[in-house]
Structure formats: structure tokens, C-alpha cells
Amino acid sequence: MVRGIDANIIALKWKEKLPQQMLQLLRAIASSIRFLFKAPFWIRDRQHQIWYVYAIVLALVVFGFNWWGVHIFHQWIQGQLVQVGLGQTLLAVMEWAHIDIANEGNPTTWQSMVSEFVVSALGWMYWALAIWFEIKTLKYVLLAFSGPLVSLVSEQAESEITGVTIAFNGVVWARDLLRSILFAIVLFFAEITVSLVSFGVVLFTLVFFPLVAPILSVFAFAFSVFLSSFVFGLSSFDPIWERRGLGVSMRFRKAWSEKWALFGLGLPFHIAMAIPVVSIILAPVFLPVLSAVGAVLISQRAQLNTVAKIK
């Protein structure tokens, strides 16, 4: 009986806290998005449009490198599919459809239709996966090579707010590049693994538990959006925390404690990178700069509010 009463008390407390937690969550996300949209006006008012020029050069390098790498990868995959996977798949389909290549010169109409449908479906599946993979690789190649640019913009923006000048250091610049590359590689494999596992689980439930599959698909999609947005937000806040002397473990702990602020900052980035044309033309140019400035504005909002009150 006592346990039942304790459980009811815990449930009531949870119901009371849940709306407050949801409100805090939404406020954190909205605040981050608001500061991100303030960033271009902050850049314009302080005449730092040169940052966009740096970003354009970076975007051209990233796009060229990504196109070259993905093109080579596609050629290799297509060769493997033709030599091994696709040939075996077609033979299995023909055997299932009772098409004897050696003895039947004229397969029936429905057999031909089945074969053509399977070949067409495999082609569409391949290109859908190829586009998905290209968007993923572009996102992480951008993360890998935008580290020094994000650090530069972040340092200069913070210097203007705090008045503390940070001198250029080539060793720090190289370390930022190496850190962002390693960071992007780890997160790339983490997200790809999570995406493939989620796809496999959803496919399994679709076959064996079809009623559960739609609900699980929504959760898998939501988790994928959260993870991608969180990664973008973390890449913008990481240089700030490193300048403050936080170690790697402390930075990850702080990131998780402020996960919804990071999610709000990275969500527009995730949406932009998911749109094929925008992800190639606009996102690599504007988003690294805007997210870097937005992260600084969020981290320095107390000082900015004080300055605004004095004025």
C-alpha cells in the first residue's frame, strides 16, 4: 500500500514538472533560433561581410572535394553491384519468376514485367541511397573543413563583445582543423550507424509488426533530426568552450547539459542541409558563419543585455 502511495506521489510530481520542463525546452530552442537569426544583422552592423567571402572559398573547396570523392565512390559501388550483387539479385529474381535464360528465348509478359520492375526498383533505391549518402557526406565534409573558419569567426565575434583580443596562432589553427576533421569522422560514422540501425529496425517491424512500424518510424526520424541538429550546434559551441579551457569530456558534458540550446542552433542548419539545392549553394556559405556568431551571441547574452541596459 505504501509503495502504491509513493508511486502516486511520484506520478503527480512528474505531471507537475513535465509542463515546466517542456516550457524550458521550448524556450531554449526558441532562444537559440532567435539568436541565430540575429547573427546576420550583427554581422552587417559591424561590417564583417568579408566572413562570407571566406565561407564562399571554403564552400567551393568543400563542394569540389565532396563531388570528387563521392563520384569515385559511386563508380566503385556501381562496379561492385554489376559484378556481384546486381547480377546475383537478377538471377534470383529470374529463377523465382521461372525464367530459364538457357532454354526460354521468349519469357512470358508477366515474367518480363517482374524483371523490369525489380531492375527499375533497384535502380531507384540505389539513387535514393546515393543522394542520401551524398547529402550526409557533404554535411560532414563541411563540418570537417569549416572548423578553422568557425573558430576564426567565433574568436573575432567574441573579441568585439568582450574587448579581449585573441592573436592569430598557426598551431591553434592547425589544431582546430585536425580537431574538426576527427570530430566530423567520428560523428559521421555514428550518425550513419544510427541511421542504418534505425532503418533495419523499422524494416524488421514493418515485416513482422506492421502496426508498430509507423510509430517507430516517427521516433527514428525524430531521433535522427535531434542527433544531426545537436551535432551542428555542438560544432559551433565547441570553439567557445575550448577557449575557456574546458577539456574534451567537460565539453561533451556541458553540451549535453545544454542540449536543447544546441539543438535549436543546429536545427535550421539540419533543415537547410536536407534540401538538395540549398545544401549545395546556400548552406555551406552562410550557415558556418551564422551559427558561429549565433553561438557567441548565446554564450555572451548576459553581457549583451548589460550593455543594452546601459545604452
Of 32-46, 203-217, 281-295, where does mean pLDDT reach its minimum? Answer: 203-217
Q: Is the pLDDT of residue 100 over 60?
A: no
Higher pLDDT, 64 or 149: 149
CA angle 129, 184, 239 (to 5 degrees): 145
Q: Is the pLDDT of residue 111 over 60?
A: no
Mean pLDDT of 30-51: 85
Mean pLDDT of 213-225: 81
* Phi and psi based region of residue 52 (left: phi greater than 0; alpha: psi -120 to 50; beta: remaining): alpha
pLDDT at 77: 65
Q: Is the pLDDT of residue 17 over 60?
A: no
> Where exactly are the structural domains of the chain?
2-48+137-310
* Helical segments of the chain, H only: 2-45, 50-80, 86-96, 109-145, 147-162, 170-208, 213-243, 248-257, 259-274, 276-281, 283-299, 301-310
Instruction: Report pLDDT digits (tens) over 81-90.
Output: 555 555 555 5
Of 62-66, 80-84, 102-106, where does mean pLDDT reach its minimum? Answer: 102-106
pLDDT band at 285 (very low <50, low <70, confident <90, very high): confident
CA distance 91 to 84: 11
pLDDT band at 102 (very low <50, low <70, confident <90, very high): very low
pLDDT at 241: 87
Q: How far is CA 262 from the centre of its chain?
A: 12
For the chain, the average pLDDT equals: 73
Which DSSP state fits 108? Answer: -
Tally the C-alpha atoms within 13 A of residue 278's C-alpha that lie toward its C-beta. 11
pLDDT at 149: 84
CA distance 42 to 35: 10
CA distance 192 to 205: 20
Burial of 90 (0-12, 13-18, 19+ CB in 10 A): middle
pLDDT band at 185 (very low <50, low <70, confident <90, very high): confident
Q: Is the pLDDT of residue 303 over 60?
A: no
pLDDT at 50: 87
Higher pLDDT, 275 or 40: 40
pLDDT band at 101 (very low <50, low <70, confident <90, very high): very low
pLDDT at 16: 55
**What is the separation, in whole angstroms, between the first and last Cα of the chain?**
62
pLDDT band at 286 (very low <50, low <70, confident <90, very high): confident
Q: Is the pLDDT of residue 309 over 50?
A: no
Contact yes or no for 148/173 (Cβ under 8 A): yes
Q: Is the pLDDT of residue 210 over 80?
A: no
CA 134, 136, 137, 138 torsion-angle sign: positive
Its pTM stands at 0.70
Which DSSP state fits 166? Answer: -
Q: Is the pLDDT of residue 58 over 70?
A: yes
Q: Is the pLDDT of residue 104 over 50?
A: no
pLDDT at 116: 67
* Phi and psi based region of residue 284 (left: phi greater than 0; alpha: psi -120 to 50; beta: remaining): alpha
Of 62-66, 179-183, 249-253, 271-275, where does mean pLDDT reach its minimum? Answer: 62-66
Contact yes or no for 270/36 (Cβ under 8 A): no
